[in-house]
Amino acid sequence: MRLTVKNKLDVKKAYGAFSEPELTRSGTIDDHNIILTTNKECPFKCVMCDLWQNTLDYTVDIGAVAKQVRDALDTLPKAKHIKLYNAGSFFDRQSIPKQDTFDIADEIQEYETVIVEAHPKLISAGCFQFAEYLAPQLDVAMGLETVDPEVLPRLNKNMTLDDFERATTEMLEHGIFVRAFILLRAPWQSEESGKHWAKESIDFAHSIGVECCTVIPLRPNPRMGLTDFEPSTPESLEEVVNYGLSKNKGRVFGDTWDAK
């Protein structure tokens, strides 16, 4: 049952297109163009996710998402790096048809890096074929969320740590860099346990070859159904990010989107 309605979207347009700076693997701070495509909702429906509010209930026609990207590119400045986020998995064929992924690749050949997001269970031959076809370096961001054994199974993620490690290992074998999204204070965690498990999650990600971690303070949303949930503090985010940076095993970002 929906507790809120979805935002009204135009299937002919990406619902977001903008640019923001980010630290690169080489140590420079470069602008990254970001396109948020309009497509069918992710099938996994994770408890903590609010991205479904900017999705559709149906599969778009072949060519629709590629056109969204092409039109959005015309509005963006030149940049070396691009993120293509679809509120789900780039390799979910119900969200983005396979032909569209290759048509999109043709449009972004001048970039150095392309970053997409995906669920670990959707990392398979389609991902590797896309990486091989693509001229730029491919990075794939996946939601690790938490390694807390009491919480991960309750997130409706339909994923185990073995699934995440398998996907990471296979992508590294195909020359694909891997990013991880990590929750700070996931549902059913206290402030202290939230910090503890976020740090443990960073350690796990680094141990299996993840190059970049983004720590995301969880924000309450209707799907969670937790009336007493309190977001983590800015101080906790700073502590966890600094912990990750102190390991010197890759980039660690703190997500300040919608931060108060």
pLDDT in tens, 10-34: 999 999 999 999 999 999 999 999 9
Neighbours of 230 (CB within 10 A): 11
| Exposed/middle/buried for residue 172 (C-beta within 10 Å: 0-12, 13-18, 19+) | middle
Q: Which residues contact 241 (CB under 8 A, 6 or more apart)?
A: 215, 252, 253, 254
Q: List, in order of start, the domains of the chain with CATH numbers.
A: 16-254 (3.20.20.70)
pLDDT in tens, 44-68: 888 888 888 899 999 999 999 999 9
Supply the pLDDT for residue 1.
Answer: 42
- pTM, entire model: 0.94
DSSP-derived 3-state class of residue 236: helix
Per-residue pLDDT of the chain (260 residues; tens, 9 = 90+): 445 689 999 999 999 999 999 999 999 999 999 999 999 999 888 888 888 889 999 999 999 999 999 999 999 999 999 999 999 999 999 999 999 999 999 999 999 999 999 999 999 999 999 999 999 999 999 999 999 999 999 999 999 999 999 999 999 999 999 999 999 999 999 999 999 999 999 999 999 999 999 999 998 766 666 656 788 999 999 999 999 999 999 999 999 875 54
Q: For residue 152, what are its two tokens?
A: 């991960």
Side-chain half-sphere CA neighbours of 57 within 13 A: 5
